[in-house]
Amino acid sequence: VGFYSGSTKAGPLRLAAVVGVGHHPDSFGCTANAWDVEALRQQRRRDFLTCDSGFLDVFCDSLIPQVEEYLGMPGLPMASRAILGCSLSSLFAQRLLFLRPRLFGKYILGSPSLHLAPDVFELAKAALSAAEQRPASVESLPRDVGVIFVFGEGEDSGPNTVDHCGRMAGNGIPDACRKMAGMLQSLGLEDVEVRRVAGESHDTLKPALISQGFTWLEKQWLKPPTETAYVSHA
């Protein structure tokens, strides 16, 4: 990754291993020329829209340790791990913040489909309730966890609007992101950002998400560690 180019001085070189996690091509008939779009959608909904399929446990308990062992970096600290997702996969990443709060230190959430997942808001409400009732709870969210929500300008255009291709553009994602960001800030997280990307829609966001997400991540990694108490979570 190098160092953030906007810094007043060059920081140490940072090597980042980028690991993609997805469904096996055979599971949705993927060949060199085509794939079954509907089959892939169904698998993404099964594994990312809810946490009922068992994928979350496999991802956290098996896949991450195997990948880090393979890369020669077993047992990385939370602060050195970041997760990036888009649409349903960023919804999965958001859920990890509450269900496995010690796993990742940085969350890059591209157009997360939070408006389709009321259970995630219930997790946030439960965390807020626990913080009020048990401020010394064992389970906690470190204050220096960083979260950025990124969505396209077209998604924020209101319901029943269309883009230049005639596709539905406006959706419930921007308002849901703002609501969740407020809840995270109420939990004591100090580094929560909501970013709207000009000229992008839900379908075109990914290239801008990668570029802006990694720039944000470089800034995060250049910050000194925050030595503060933990925010209650249960």
Q: pLDDT tens for residues 170-220?
A: 788 999 999 999 999 999 898 999 999 999 988 899 999 999 999 999 899
Name the 3-class secondary structure at 140.
strand
- The pLDDT of residue 137 is 47
- The pLDDT of residue 167 is 53
pTM of this prediction? 0.80
- Low pLDDT (below 70) residues in the chain: 1-14, 53, 134-140, 158-169, 225-234
Residue 181 domain-assigned (yes or no)? yes
Residue 109 domain-assigned (yes or no)? yes
Residue 21 domain-assigned (yes or no)? no
Domain with 168, as residue range(s), is 76-232
What total of structural domains would you count in the chain? 1
Residue 92 domain-assigned (yes or no)? yes
Among the residues of the chain, which ranges form H helices?
37-44, 55-58, 64-70, 88-99, 118-133, 173-186, 206-222
Residue 114 domain-assigned (yes or no)? yes
Residue 213 domain-assigned (yes or no)? yes
The helix (H) or strand (E) run that includes residue 107 is strand 106-110
Tokens read off for 73: 């970096």
Residue 183 domain-assigned (yes or no)? yes
Assign residue 129 the CATH number of its domain.
3.40.50.1820
Residue 116 domain-assigned (yes or no)? yes
Report the C-alpha gap between 100 and 145 in whole angstroms: 13
